[in-house]
Amino acid sequence: GLLPGWDRVDEHVAAAYERSRENHDGVVADYIPALAAVDPALFGVSVIEVDGGTHVAGDADVAFSVQSISKAFVYALVCEELGHDAVRERVGVNNTGLAFNSVVAIELNDGHPMNPMVNAGALATTAMVPGSPDEQWDAIHAGLSRFAGRTLVLDEEVYASEVRTNQRNRAIARLLESYGRIQTDPARVVDTYTRQCSLLVTARDLAVMGATLADGGVNPVTGERVVSPAVCRDTLAVLAANGLYERSGEWLFEIGLPGKSGVAGGIVTIAPGKAGIGTFAPRLDAAGNSVRGQRATAYLSRVLGLNVFASA
Ligand code: GLN
C-alpha cells in the first residue's frame, strides 16, 4: 500500500456506501424518457487500484447507460489519434459556466464549443474521430470497451428513447456546422454521439475505465495499453476543469480529483497513479450530477487521502 488507509479500502468503500445511502436528495433525469423508469434506490460504489485491486459495495454490477461519461473517453481516443493541439484548437478546454446542453454558451463564444465535456464540445469531438460514420462508431465502441476491459453493449431502449427526444442536440450540431466546427453530416454525428451515450456500464466498469486513466493509459485488469500517458494527463486536466459542468469548481474544491458525471447517475473519478472510482446512483442535482455519487466520492477522497491539492 502507498497510502495511509490503503490496506483498508474494502472497509472505506463499504462506509462510503452506507453513509451516502441515507441521502435521498435529487431527482432522476426524465428528459430522456427511458431514464425516468430507473429505480432511484439503486446505488453502487467501486474502487479499482492501478495494481488491479478491486473493491465494491452495493449495486456495483447493475448496468446503466454511460451518457456524458463517454465524453471523457472519446476525448482521450481522439487525442490519441490527432494529438493535443488539434483537439484544443477545435474543441477547447475552458469551462462554459453554463448547463451541459447550453446553446447560449455556443453563441456567447462565437460558435466555439468551449470544451469536450459539454454536449457541443462532445459532438465536435465525436465528429473528429477518423473515418466514415460506421468506422467512427466502431472505433468508439471498441475504444470504450478497451477502457472497460470488456465488450460494452448498447442499450437499445435508451438509444431509441433519446433518438426520439434529442432535438436539442440536433440543433446544437447544426449550429456547430454553421460555424464550421463540424465538417461532416451533423445528423450522423448526433447519431454516433447518441450511441456512445447509450452504452451500458456498471460502477465497476467505470472504476476500471478510471483506473486506466489513472495508470497512464494501461488497463490494470487486462494489462492492455489503451492510450498514452500524455493523453491521460490531458484528459484529466480537461476533466478537472469541466467534468461536472458548471459545478466543476465546487467538485474540485470538495474532492480535489478529476471526475466526469452522466445523467443516468454514473460518476467516474480518477486518482492519478493510484485508482479509479466508479459510482452509480440515479438521483441528480440541478446540474445533472449524481448526489450520492458525489457524497461517496468525497468521503473516499478524504479517507484515502486522494485530494491532489493536499500536501499532507
Ligand atoms: N445523452 C445525454 C445528452 O446528450 C448526455 C447528457 C449527460 O449525461 N449530461 O443529453
| pLDDT tens track for 17-37 | 999 999 999 999 999 999 999
82-140, pLDDT tens digit by residue?
A: 999 999 999 999 999 999 999 999 999 999 999 999 999 999 999 999 999 999 999 99
CA distance 184 to 173: 10
Residue 5: pLDDT band (50, 70, 90) is low
Ligand 1: which atom is nearest the Cα of residue 68? 8
Residue 150 is predicted with a pLDDT of 98
Given a cut of 60, is residue 2 above it in pLDDT?
no
User: Average pLDDT for residues 151-179, to the nearest whole number?
Assistant: 97
Q: What is the pLDDT at residue 7? A: 84
Fold of 6-66+201-303: Beta-lactamase (3.40.710)
Residues of the chain with CATH 3.40.710.10: 6-66+201-303, 69-197
Using alpha carbons only, how large is the chain's radius of gyration in Å? 18
pTM of the model as a whole: 0.97
CA distance 257 to 98: 21
Which of 193, 198, 238, 301 is catalytic? The answer is 193
Which atom of ligand 1 lies at the shortest distance from residue 261's CA? Answer: 8
Mean pLDDT of 211-217: 98
Residue 299: pLDDT band by 50, 70, 90 thresholds?
A: very high
Is 263 one of the annotated binding-site residues? yes
Tell me whether residue 299 is annotated as binding.
no
- Name the H helices within the chain: 9-21, 33-36, 69-82, 84-91, 104-108, 119-128, 133-148, 156-165, 167-178, 186-197, 203-214, 229-242, 248-255, 291-303
Active site residue 71: yes
Q: Give the distance (Å) from ligand 1 centre to CA of residue 197.
A: 7
Whether the CB of 196 sits within 6 Å of ligand 1 = no
Name the average pLDDT for the chain: 96
Instruction: Show the cell assigned to 300.
Output: 473516499
pLDDT greater than 60 at residue 172: yes
At the topology level, CATH places domain 69-197 in Beta-lactamase (3.40.710)
User: Can you tell me the ipTM of this complex?
Assistant: 0.96
User: Which residue blocks in 95-184 are alpha helix, DSSP H?
Assistant: 104-108, 119-128, 133-148, 156-165, 167-178
Set 238, 245, 261, 274: catalytic member = 245
pLDDT band for 200, please (50, 70, 90 cuts).
Answer: very high
For ligand 1, atom 2, the nearest C-alpha belongs to 67
In this prediction, residues 178-202 reach a mean pLDDT of 97
Q: Can you give the pLDDT at residue 240?
A: 98
CA 173 to centroid of ligand 1, rounded, Å = 14
Q: Is 17 a catalytic residue?
A: no
1 pLDDT more than 60: no
Annotated catalytic residue 263:
yes
Q: Which of 71, 218, 231, 274 is catalytic?
A: 71
Interval 241-274: pLDDT, tens: 999 999 999 999 999 999 999 999 999 999 999 9
> Of 20, 46, 65, 68, which is the active-site residue?
68
Backbone phi, then psi, for 297, in 5-degree steps? Answer: -70, -40
| Res. 207: pLDDT tops 90 | yes
Ligand 1 pocket test, pick from 38, 67, 74, 193 with the greatest ligand atom count within 8 Å of Cβ, gives 67
166 known member of a binding site: no
Supply the residue whose CA is at minimum distance from atom 4 of ligand 1.
119
| Residues 6+ away with beta carbon under 8 Å from 53 | 9
Tens-place pLDDT, residues 41-67: 999 999 999 999 999 999 999 999 999
